[in-house]
Amino acid sequence: MIHHLSISAQNPEHAAEVLAEVMNGKAFPFPPNPGSYMMVSLDEYGTAIEVYPLQIVLQPGEGKQDCQFQEISQPVNFTATHAAISVNSTQEKIEEIAHREGWRVIRCSRAFFDVIEFWLENRVMIEFLTPEMSNQYLTFMQPENLQKVFAG
């Protein structure tokens, strides 16, 4: 189970607030790195998304040091990193929020289940799954179904 993940954004505070709106959570400053925010969905799993400024990357520490926040001069606009997150929001609510922000949103079929591609700041893809989509996903991810699909 993934409890939290981190992403970067041009406007971390706003991005965290919008994610909190979609996920029915709250956004807070993230003290370990000034200028960063954390969206907490307030669910039983402790689901959270840390949102760092675009120019911040995580690098390994040295020796016994924790990871280090490092500022880079040439941030990248897109990333291969994305997440699929089940939410208790409707497709209509997710689309309304994205349209309000001017961000791309589209319902897509991933062959065995549907997702809503929600492009945070039009640069980071988050696949939101409504309860119906979440059920499709969980059914597909059962070992016997995966075996049928991926058995070669």
Question: How big is the CA angle at 112 (ends 22 and 95), to the nearest 5 degrees?
Answer: 25
Q: What pTM was computed for the model?
A: 0.91
Residues 74, 57: contact at Cβ < 8 Å? no
Half-sphere exposure of 17 (CA within 13 A, CB side): 5
Summarize pLDDT for 70-100 with one digit per residue, the tens: 999 998 888 888 999 999 999 999 999 999 9
Nearest-CA neighbor of 122 among 55, 77, 73?
A: 77
CB count in 10 Å sphere of residue 3: 8
Radius of gyration of the chain (CA): 17
- What is the pLDDT, as a whole number, of residue 1? 72
